[in-house]
Chain A
């Protein structure tokens, strides 16, 4: 679309100016909350209660950040949210890897090895996207109990994998649909089997959609609170639970600057992922995943 012929008349230049203006105003809309969060997180508490949200910090300080990282109370432990990062990674990384792998194989099987009813199977699996987690909380708790996985890290990973498969399958299926079937048919005729074709032909070109799937799953699982709080034990709580304990104390004194700093710290991994990999994200989506 960007290669179309353009004419640079004065009218066109004016439109160009308007274009940039609109984009910048939109950018302000998106950036404003982040700016507010940052500013609040470096103000001392006295300034927050005295001024409005959007007033500039008079005496900026990084104390809220150090407190949020290492000293704030999240229960009896007053060690900040930093320590919980390990718990979150221990849950997120396996869950992302497993759900992506399963989604890839599913998408491959659904599109390159069609059988009667494969579309129906896909549609049935897709409904897994729409279940609100509150609805499945209790039955899942009971199931985990039966499996002997209650309050364990493995149980929580299982939960995230189960509810992530619908999405990863959707992404990979839409992507593989755009890959010509001739490649696969030729390989089949050559005698290559199911896994060989996947490994040799499809996986090498799947990098873009793998990125999409990983980013999506990483964000969803990292930011999850409900499953994280219900299915973790006292020593496996993810960072979202720690953040909640920090921010939502019921009858204690609230330190909004520390809260904002902690929220930003908790959001850093996903933010970093989006900022660094955003380009690959769009590239991944471009490479056929949205064409149907």
Chain B
């Protein structure tokens, strides 16, 4: 035991230096992959957004013309606004619902395992399946509205999916259904990881259970919220299959999102230049929101 410190101190050998470089070597392929496949492709997309590419990429440069066209495109504004609405509602409701369910499940429930599986399983399904099923459930003639009416409530209305103003909220419903169970699992894990002694101390001080949750537990769960937000945000941005399966972008294009806008224009309308510009703006907007969040979270936690 007493010999080892001196042994290491006396040995800056080749193998020692290799060991120092090994972590970097191990990380290097992943970094290279990130640089090429993520940043490289983003750069390529940026280059394409400066061209007049139609069906396949061409390198006929037109400056920022595609961006100008994009700004004048009404459908793009609808899509961007939709992402704000959808993204915010989706993340917030998932967090609230997930946290709530986790707290409820944490109360020594019988059948906790079964209930947890029920809440969690939707994440196993692909968004296509989710979209198809919810499209049916929300269909006024075939789904929930029809069912409730058949129970006697003749004037019950739930036709959001065919209403251009309300259709985007149907996206929220389906997406929350799919992802909130996962958030619940994250919160449940977080709750289970909290030291009981803190809670007991607070209880002995006379605090009520809700107050304990609010003042003591929630702050401990901040890292969980971080993980959850990262995952939810990635789902929200990538939401493509859900839109295509649930509403097809409709009615009209009322439920279009930037991802579907980009795909439609780049692939179906042979407008790769415009699609690339929309992709850049979409990514830019996302990064503008996420970078500050990431920065504050990674900085504020000192890891050992």
Contacts and interface: CB of A to CB of B under 8 A. Distances in A.
Contacts of A128: 34, 37-38
Interface string A251-292: 000000001000100110011011100110111111011111
Contact of B283 (A19, A29, A135): A135
A53 interface: yes
Contacts of A177: 303-304
Given A4-B200, A23-B104, A281 B185 contact: yes
A129 to B, nearest CB: 5
A217 interface: no
A123 B237 contact: no
Contacts of B40: 139
Summarize A's interface: helix, strand, loop or mixed. helix
B287 A121 contact: no
A13 B57 CA distance: 67
Interface string B248-263: 0000000000010011
Interface in A90-122: 102, 105-106, 108-111, 113, 115, 119, 121
Interface string B201-231: 0010000000000000100000110110010
A110 B27 contact: yes
A263 B131 CA distance: 12
Given A113-B23, A140-B41, A225 B128 contact: yes
B266 A134 contact: yes
Interface in B267-304: 267, 272, 279, 282-283, 286-287, 290, 294, 298, 301, 303-304
Interface residues of B, number: 107
A43 B138 CA distance: 20
Contacts of A174: 223, 227
B87 interface: no
A3 B133 contact: no
A53 B136 CA distance: 7
A189 B4 contact: yes
Contact of A271 (B107, B121, B137): B121
Contacts of A111: 303
B45 A135 contact: yes
A14 interface: no
Which size class do A's interface residues fall under? 35 or more
Contacts of B24: 109, 115
A193 B119 contact: no
A76 interface: no
A290 B132 contact: no
Interface stretch (B59-67, B68-76, B140-148, B160-168): B140-148
B285 to A, nearest CB: 11
A110 B24 CA distance: 9
Given A275-B121, A290-B190, A131 B41 contact: yes
A247 interface: yes
A52 B263 contact: no
Nearest to B212: A4
A163 interface: yes
A138 interface: yes
Interface stretch (A57-65, A67-75, A164-172, A199-207): A164-172
A285 B33 CA distance: 27
Interface in A38-59: 40, 52-54
B34 A274 contact: no
Contacts of A52: 141-143, 146-147, 150
Contact of B143 (A54, A105, A127, A226): A54
Contacts of A244: 128
A89 interface: no
B124 A130 contact: no
B155 interface: no
B129 A106 contact: no
A78 interface: no
Contact of B27 (A121, A188, A195, A283): A121
Contact of B227 (A36, A102, A279, A290): A290
A37 interface: yes
A240 interface: yes
A132 B27 contact: no
A287 to B, nearest CB: 8
Given A109-B27, A181-B304, 20 more contacts: A1-B199, A5-B200, A19-B109, A27-B119, A30-B118, A52-B146, A102-B29, A111-B303, A128-B37, A129-B234, A134-B267, A165-B34, A193-B22, A223-B125, A243-B128, A274-B117, A282-B185, A285-B186, A286-B193, A288-B193
24 contacts: A1-B196, A2-B106, A30-B119, A34-B121, A36-B133, A130-B238, A131-B41, A132-B238, A133-B238, A133-B240, A136-B45, A140-B41, A170-B227, A189-B8, A191-B7, A219-B123, A223-B126, A225-B128, A274-B117, A278-B113, A278-B116, A283-B189, A285-B186, A290-B186
